Amino acid sequence: MKRIVVATLSAVLVLSTLVAQQAPAAAADNPVVVENQQAGSTGWQINPQKIADDATGQIKGYASLTSVSPGQSITFYVTVNPAQTYSIDVYRIGWYSGMGGRLRLHVAGQNGIQQSACTPNATTGLIACNWSPSYTFTVPADWTSGIYYTLLTNAAGYQNAIIFAVKDGRPAAFLYQQAVNTYQAYNNYPDDHVNGKSLYSFNSYGANTISGTTRAVKVSFDRPYSGEGSMYFFTFEINLVRWLEKNGYDVTYTTDVDTDANDGALLSHKGFLSTGHDEYWSKGMYDAVQAARNAGVNLAFFGANAVYWQARYEPSAGGAAKRVLVCYKDASTDPVRDATTTVLFRDPLVNRPEQTLMGVMFRDEVPFSAPDPVTGNYVPNNSPYVVTNSSHWLYAGTGFKDGDSVPKLVGYEMDRYDSSFAGPTGATQWTFLSNSPYTGEFYGAEYAQSSIYQAPSGAWVFASGTMSWSWGLDNYWYTYADPRIQRTTANLLNAFLNGAPKTVHDLKVTAPASAAVGQAFTVGVTAEDAQGSPVTTYTGTVHFATSDTGSGVVLPADSTLTNGQGSFSVTLATTGPQTITVSDAANSLSTTASLTVAAAVGPANHLVLATTATPTAGAAFSFTVTAQDSAGNTDTGYAGTVHFTSTDTSTGTVLPANATLTNGQGTFSATLFVAGAQTVTATDTTTASITGALNVSVRPAAASKLALTTGGAYPTAGTPLSFTATALDQYGNTDTAYAGTVHFTSSDTSTGVALPADATLTNGQGTFSATLIRAGVQTITATDNATASITGALTVTVRAASATKFAASASTTTPTAGAAFSVTLKAQDQYGNTDTAYAGRAHFTSSDTSSGVVLPADSSLTNGQGTFSVTLTKAGAQTVTATDTATASITGSVSVTVKPGAAASLTLGAPATATVNQSFNVTVTAKDRYGNVATGYRGTVQFTSSDLLATLPANYTFTAGDGGAHSFSVTLVTPPSESVTVTDTANASLTASAQITVKLPLLP
């Protein structure tokens, strides 16, 4: 309806997070499966910093065809500004193990030229580029049908794209239609804010056309697409393509143009798929898809605003068929006044409302994006998808309940049923599967609906009612994939392949026309579809009722059917007309049979137990026992003794002792403990056939504790854990009436722990999600806010997440140079837990690269940790770093301050020359064996000299203040050369000398 701002194709592939779903087992010879087993590439992702623009036209191009078959040639028309070389890379878009594409053709070193400007026709606004061919090739026979994305890259690094489909005419299960008409309708190339034109005035420029505005009424496929070059494919279509191919569906690809040109081709497929923004259709397209539906081909519209404008094709100026798309949008200016007039399909002149094909039709839209209230970043302005009719087979296995919602799935254009237009002719099982409120730009408070119906041909037609349905299938670009939408889509496509599950339309009951009091007869029950055939897959539970309220009525217990059918025994007790009703409340089914019951009289043959109470677990209740004959009369002469039993055999159950009745009746007390359906049975101790049962529904007592359970006792740190909280009474029954509010706490008080907010339970039970952080044994406790004694705890063992870093520690922070010390390494996840499953290898480095440094060899860890020996030699601040050999981001360091070792040598720093009788300074420095200044040296040094007349320092003992070095004054007297020697008085090996040239003083 209106153009959106399409996000630029990212340079980073957002991998899809898909959960298990019911998809068909792919056949070994399915070309899509074989294709996706080939090596993939992410090279198809355009550089967002180097996208060519339409104003400068660094590089732009278009193809001679929107689709091409293997063995057929296709030509690219390319312009570069300025003239320079460029390359061509053609990728097939698919799954490819998440890489998203496969390189099929690389052409380098093409000599590019700047092609002529493309100018609009003054009347129609048509812009067709009459460019010279740049590159022509024949599509190889091994190119699998699909969407092909061609990257054009000039020598300066600027890029743009050409997109086309490869078709193969193969009778695959599914036919995917690429919405190229809508691409072209919104294409305003050149988008230079001067000359560009589309079928819309909001992005058309220059002079007015016959439309009365700047918009064109004709647009050409012989021009590049504006922007990056793929229009809406990466916004609304790629997610479906990736999901289909990941799951191995047998799909072949085509375009709008092919649907119009070869309508009979649709009949060789089981399902036709329209997706995303598929707004512009020709009459030929509508005819072809409608005929396919009427012939039994299933249709899926995974988008919205489809089949909205009727357009038609014209040849190019050079005679190439279907290269111009025409849409005047106004019958008064369109020169063609017949069934192809280019107005809305719902316009009375055409009178083919899209609702008659899809089941819904376009209603309203919202702005594509809006600022996030937290970050301020622009994000999709979509609304949640709200489920209705959740029992429908399409939702089987999703877990959906009415009112459940899927975030961000409804937008930016939406469809619904419009009662002012006709629906599909002869549709059966027409069901609306969602009712999703939003605030529209045109009508304010609105709602979107998804729809499914079955055509008289048996074909199913599904319409999602939202343009963003494919976002729920795969996390490319937007991370809104939802396993329930994936399962729903899989259910739909599986129904296209194998037929939808049969749906029960009603229950059929057969019974004899008459029966006698107290005599059993047979009732037949069959679950039937709308055509009266048994539904063998029916799994519902049927309940029996009768108009006969007399004692002695025997009805079957609630029962299931076998292959949709069952026979049951019934005994009635009251004469006259009676009815038997069989119902399945869960599936809204009920039917009744009538018969006449004849009278009979006799002695007691059964017992009737009755109560007015609804018993509570643990509380006594009263009931009566009456001995009756087959007609329901009380046998006042009954003298038997009755024995009592119950289905509740729990400890504490209290039943009456054996007893006789008075005048055929007696009142007794019983106490039951297990909540739910229970029976108390009375049986004559002599004649076992004289028996009767009381069916009661025992209510639970008030909750006294909470029970927390989970199916995953070993959650991963930082990953949500699902658990169930159940309110139990003292006997272990679920208190379905529990109305308390529970508060959640955990032994894990780490930052990042996420616990449920205070919550009430539904029917005494609730399912919640918690995220724990600290590895090891943890508990989650739920406590009633008002009654602290109503509490319960869940104990789990939290496993660490995968390691993201190393934590390193040293046995000492001040090791001695040359002395080994220990470094302990732990592989930790982002929360600081040790990843005991870490299987990587650590490589060690150090800031100390001196000779003599000893580091551990590359090593694995045991249970996520290890201790290693390290020797450093250079004094001062140093680090030891460990890094995973495969994943460089897994790294960690420990810092130490290396102390020098014991003095191993002395150095004597002296000047090269000295003057007779003039003092000079020398410096004595103690060093360890690695050349570090031995700051701990406390030895006593003695000076000697070859100059017997020299003045030398007295013996000196080093102090802590010296830090291993001290300066002394020396005076030499005798020319021409003398030595000065310093020696440790206790260790003669610690010595050093200096040879000094002694000069006479200069004469005045």
Is the per-residue pLDDT at 896 higher than 50?
yes
Region 109-129 average pLDDT: 98
CA 584 to chain centre: 36
Across the chain, what does the average pLDDT equal? 92
Question: Hey, which residues does 117 pair with through a beta bridge?
Answer: none
Give the pLDDT confidence of 226-275 residue by residue, as tens digits.
999 999 999 999 999 999 999 999 999 999 999 999 878 899 999 999 99
Q: What share of the chain is helix, strand, coil (3-state, %, to 5)?
A: 10, 40, 50
Lowest mean pLDDT among 33-42, 91-100, 324-333, 847-856: 847-856
Is the per-residue pLDDT at 5 higher than 70?
no
Lowest mean pLDDT among 118-132, 304-318, 609-623: 609-623
Continuous segment of H or E residues that includes residue 490? helix 483-498
Residue 589's pLDDT is 75
Is the per-residue pLDDT at 15 higher than 60?
no
Residue 267's pLDDT is 97
Determine contact, residues 763/736, Cβ cutoff 8 Å. yes
Confidence of residue 16 (pLDDT cuts 50, 70, 90): very low
Indicate the DSSP class of residue 31: H
Confidence of residue 600 (pLDDT cuts 50, 70, 90): low
Residue 14's pLDDT is 35
Residue 72's pLDDT is 98
Give the pLDDT confidence of 304-346 residue by residue, as tens digits.
999 999 999 999 999 999 999 999 999 999 999 999 999 999 9
Determine contact, residues 569/553, Cβ cutoff 8 Å. no
Token representation of residue 544: 């029996």
Is the per-residue pLDDT at 350 higher than 90?
yes
Confidence of residue 531 (pLDDT cuts 50, 70, 90): low
Residue 71's pLDDT is 98
Determine contact, residues 580/523, Cβ cutoff 8 Å. yes
Residue 180's pLDDT is 98
CA angle 995, 997, 999 (to 5 degrees): 155
Token representation of residue 889: 């981001």
Residue 12's pLDDT is 32
Torsions phi, psi for 336 (to 5 deg)? -100, 120
476, with CB counted inside 10 A (0-12, 13-18, 19+), is buried
Region 51-58 average pLDDT: 95
Residue 807's pLDDT is 93
- Dihedral angle sign, alpha carbons of residues 237, 240, 246, 250: negative
Which H, E and C letters describe 909-961, residue by residue?
Answer: ECCCEEECCCCEEEEEEEECCCCCECCCCCCEEEEEECCCCCECCCCEECCHH
Confidence of residue 153 (pLDDT cuts 50, 70, 90): very high
Exposure string of 593-616, with b = 16+ CB inside 10 Å and e = fewer, is bebebeeeeeebbbbbbebeeebb
Residue 19's pLDDT is 35
Is the per-residue pLDDT at 433 higher than 50?
yes
Exposure string of 925-936, with b = 16+ CB inside 10 Å and e = fewer, is bbbbbbbbbbbb
CA 145 to chain centre: 27
Query: Could you tell me the CA-to-CA distances from 907 to 901, 903, 930, 962 in Å, in that order?
Result: 16, 11, 13, 14
**Domains of the chain as residue ranges with CATH:** 1-363+422-435+452-501 (no CATH), 506-598 (2.60.40.1930), 606-698 (2.60.40.10), 705-794 (2.60.40.10), 805-898 (2.60.40.10), 905-999 (2.60.40.10)
Distance CA 804, CA 876 (A): 30
Query: Could you tell me the CA-to-CA distances from 121 to 207, 220, 541 in Å, in that order?
Result: 10, 11, 70
Taking the alpha carbons at both ends of the chain, their separation in whole angstroms is: 107
Other beta carbons within 10 angstroms of residue 42's beta carbon come to 14
Distance CA 556, CA 258 (A): 61
CA nearest neighbour of 514 among 599, 451, 452: 599
Region 695-722 average pLDDT: 90
Other beta carbons within 10 angstroms of residue 697's beta carbon come to 10
Which H, E and C letters describe 32-46, residue by residue?
Answer: HHHHHCCCCECCCCC
Higher-scoring residue by pLDDT: 564, 690: 690
Give the pLDDT confidence of 404-429 residue by residue, as tens digits.
999 999 999 999 999 999 999 999 99
CA nearest neighbour of 147 among 279, 72, 44: 44
Lowest mean pLDDT among 533-547, 791-805, 927-941: 533-547
Is the per-residue pLDDT at 821 higher than 60?
yes
Is the per-residue pLDDT at 21 higher than 70?
no
Give the three-class secondary structure for 638. Answer: coil
Q: H helices then E strands: how many in the chain?
A: 7, 64
Other beta carbons within 10 angstroms of residue 671's beta carbon come to 17
Give the pLDDT confidence of 629-664 residue by residue, as tens digits.
987 888 889 999 999 999 999 898 999 999 999 999
Residue 595's pLDDT is 64
Higher-scoring residue by pLDDT: 630, 506: 630
Region 581-595 average pLDDT: 77
Confidence of residue 865 (pLDDT cuts 50, 70, 90): very high
Region 943-948 average pLDDT: 95
Which amino acid is residue 190, in one-letter code? Answer: P
Token representation of residue 378: 């622009």
Determine contact, residues 775/834, Cβ cutoff 8 Å. yes
Distance CA 17, CA 719 (A): 15
Q: For 249-260, give the DSSP string.
A: --EEEEEHHHHH
Give the pLDDT confidence of 870-889 residue by residue, as tens digits.
999 999 999 999 999 999 99
Question: Hey, which residues does 667 pair with through a beta bridge?
Answer: 624
Which amino acid is residue 182, in one-letter code? Answer: T
What percent of the chain lies above the pLDDT cut of 70? 96
Determine contact, residues 506/500, Cβ cutoff 8 Å. no
Is the per-residue pLDDT at 8 higher than 80?
no
Distance CA 563, CA 246 (A): 36
Q: For 126-193, give the DSSP string.
A: -B---PPP-EEEEPPTT--SEEEEEEEEETTS-EEEEEEEE------SEEEEE-HHHHHHH--SS-SS
Distance CA 99, CA 28 (A): 22
Determine contact, residues 69/139, Cβ cutoff 8 Å. yes
Token representation of residue 717: 């740190």
Give the pLDDT confidence of 537-579 residue by residue, as tens digits.
888 898 989 898 888 899 889 988 898 888 888 888 887 888 8
Residue 652's pLDDT is 85
